[in-house]
Amino acid sequence: MSQPRIPRLSRRGILAAGGAIGLGAALAACGDGDGGSDSGKGSAAKSGPWTFKDDRGQTAKADKVPSNIVAFVGVAAALYDYGVPVKGVFGPTTTKDGKADVQAGDMDVTKVTVLGNEWGQFNIEKYASLAPDLLISTMFDSAGTLWYVPEESKKKILAVGAPSVGVSVYDRQLTQPLERMLALAKSLGADVDTEKVKQAKKRFEDAAARLRAAAKAKPDIKVLVGSASQDLFYVSGSNLSIDLEYFKALGVNLVEPPEQAKAKGGGWYESLSWENVDKYAADIIMMDNRTSAIQPAAITQATWKKLPAVKANQVIARNPEPILSYDKCVPLLEDLAKAIETAKKVS
């Protein structure tokens, strides 16, 4: 599954609309979907050797099931939903006022050690003090770059000795990483056969069916996916992002910038000046709700306020880095389905 090399981008570009992009893509890293060899659940999974083959095709190994886990905050939030605790997290965990970031999900952020809250931050000394036995992150490229693990200090971080696991969220549909996260949680001792987990998966499937039906009933409703910064507005294409690829497969009519327009964004998005924010007609706008982006209520540009979808109050939130538990992904589908069902044609 070789992919074209992705150009190195600025931090803003890395965190922009199309989701998030890694620091380069040179090697294919397609896992074969195998989970851990220890498929037990609950306390039964705590004994014996542990292995898990990740999406880089690499097998992480330990003498026992890891318990001192350090993970990217979104991964930690997903594991939390499955009952797997983590000791430390990195990535956007708390906001400036100390509250939990949107990417922290339902975790109590006061009960985890935060190794770095912003891009480029990762306290290696604090990491080592946790005596980690597993490091987990997502991957936004085909080269196996662990998200939010700084490239400049990666060797020192890995030298601490904990095996690492990468879950790919690059160029595939949402259902794939959801299945992989479930398999990882199971290998780490989660009971994935509980009624709670079964109900969450059923709600996800029902929400997907609802979104498919909404898109089929209103095929002319155009959905634009954007993200705002001070100087630029980013328009995402459906390719590469796990949620957008899935929405498109369900029949959602997504606005698609041409490939040449997305070239500077590594194939993820097109950058527009605020003067040209009306380049594409849309009935619904989905806006990046991460703390790295300016939120719709804070956008002051007149060109934004004049957009038909904005005037019609047909703007909804989107997290380009979904928390990979079925429970957390249900609202992504339900909110878009409701928006399409109730949308007026304004484009």
pLDDT recorded at residue 48 = 78
Nearest CA among 108, 113, 142 for reference residue 30: 142
Q: Residue ranges of the chain with pLDDT lower than 70?
A: 1-47
pLDDT recorded at residue 46 = 56
**What are the tokens at 93?**
């965990």
Q: What is this structure's pTM?
A: 0.87
pLDDT recorded at residue 31 = 33
Could you report the per-residue pLDDT of 314-329, keeping only the tens digit for each? 999 999 999 999 999 9
* Residue 119 DSSP label: T
Taking each helix axis as running N to C, give the angle between helix 73-81 and helix 175-187, from 0 to 180 degrees, rounded to the nearest 10.
70
Rounded CA-CA distance 347/343 in Å is: 11
Rounded CA-CA distance 49/282 in Å is: 53
With the C-alpha atoms ordered 239, 243, 246, 252, is the resulting torsion angle positive or negative?
negative
**What are the tokens at 148?**
């939010």
Q: Do residues 70 and 153 touch, judged by C-beta distance below 8 A?
A: no
Q: Do residues 53 and 34 touch, judged by C-beta distance below 8 A?
A: yes
Q: Do residues 147 and 71 touch, judged by C-beta distance below 8 A?
A: no
For the chain, the maximum distance between any two Cα atoms, rounded to a whole number of angstroms, is 62
pLDDT recorded at residue 39 = 34
Q: Do residues 51 and 40 touch, judged by C-beta distance below 8 A?
A: no
Amino acid at 15: L
Is residue 214 classed as helix, strand or coil in its secondary structure?
helix
C-alpha distances in Å from residue 139, one per residue of 5, 37, 177: 15, 22, 10
**What are the tokens at 149?**
């693990």
pLDDT recorded at residue 21 = 32
Element (H, E) at 71: strand 69-72
Q: What is the DSSP string of 234-285?
A: EEE-SSS-HHHHHHHHTT-EE----HHHHGGGTTSEEEEEGGGTTSS--SEE
